[in-house]
Amino acid sequence: MKSPPAIQLESGHALDAVDVIRHCEGQMAYFAVPRFVRIVTAMPLTENGKIRKAALREAGRTSDTWDREAAGYKLRARAAVRHRRAGRRGPA
């Protein structure tokens, strides 16, 4: 099982998982947009201040992990629409 992307918010800021997915839709191919998103208050850190990725992987999907499919969110295949509008079919 692949661990969901974890996003740490700065203090005093708010963010919804749907906002993350909407941002990703505009920046990534539709098949690369993550299904699961986890917003955390603090990342697990090593003694040197680096993120402990193994700890995030071990945690996996937790109760605070947002699931795009369970929420009924449908992705828009925007990249294909842009190519059609520009008269291109994709990479040549």
- Per-residue pLDDT of 12-54, as tens digits, reads 888 899 999 999 988 888 889 999 999 988 999 999 999 999 9
Of 37-41, 47-51, 57-61, 63-67, where does the model show the most confidence?
47-51
Identify any residues that bridge with 77 across adjacent strands, giving them in sequence order: none
Residue 75: CB atoms within 10 Å? 15
**C-alpha pair distances (Å), 56 with each of 6, 59, 60:** 8, 5, 6
pLDDT of residue 72: 92
Domains of the chain by residue range: 6-85
pTM over 0.85: no
Percent helix, strand and coil across the chain, each to the nearest 5: 30, 15, 55
Q: Report residue 75's pLDDT band, with 50, 70 and 90 as the boundaries.
A: confident
Question: What whole-number distance in Å separates Cα of residue 46 and Cα of residue 40?
Answer: 17
Question: Is residue 85 pLDDT above 70, yes or no?
Answer: no
Written as six digits, the tokens of 27 are 């920046």
pLDDT of residue 3: 78
CATH number given to 6-85? 3.30.300
pLDDT of residue 44: 93
